Amino acid sequence: MYVIVLHKLLLDIFNLYRSIIPLLSMQMEYNYNHLNYFIILLRRTSEIRNEPLRRSSRVMKEETSYWS
């Protein structure tokens, strides 16, 4: 009796897990695409204004130390 109930419970949990995972991956993909779109938009607007996107100070320091 307990084995049957436990087995049913495990099956329910497994099916729930299988139904949730695709939803999570879709949501993550949507967020990633949204972020990419935002970055592209930022780059385009900065190109229109003829000023490149500012780099972080750490990257600038690494570049200057590399070239000097």
CB atoms within 10 A of CB 46: 13
Q: What are phi and psi of 53, to 5 degrees?
A: -60, 140
pTM as predicted: 0.34
15 residue type, one letter: N
Q: Mean pLDDT across the stretch 23-43?
A: 75
CA angle (27 as vertex; 23, 30 as ends), nearest 5: 140
By percentage, how much of the chain surpasses pLDDT 90?
A: 0
Domain boundaries, the chain: 2-67
Q: Mean pLDDT across the stretch 27-42?
A: 76
Task: Give the pLDDT confidence score for residue 16 in this predicted structure.
Answer: 82
Model pLDDT for residues 41-68, shown as the tens digit of each residue: 777 776 666 555 555 555 555 555 555 4
Question: Which residue carries 């993550």 as its tokens?
Answer: 28
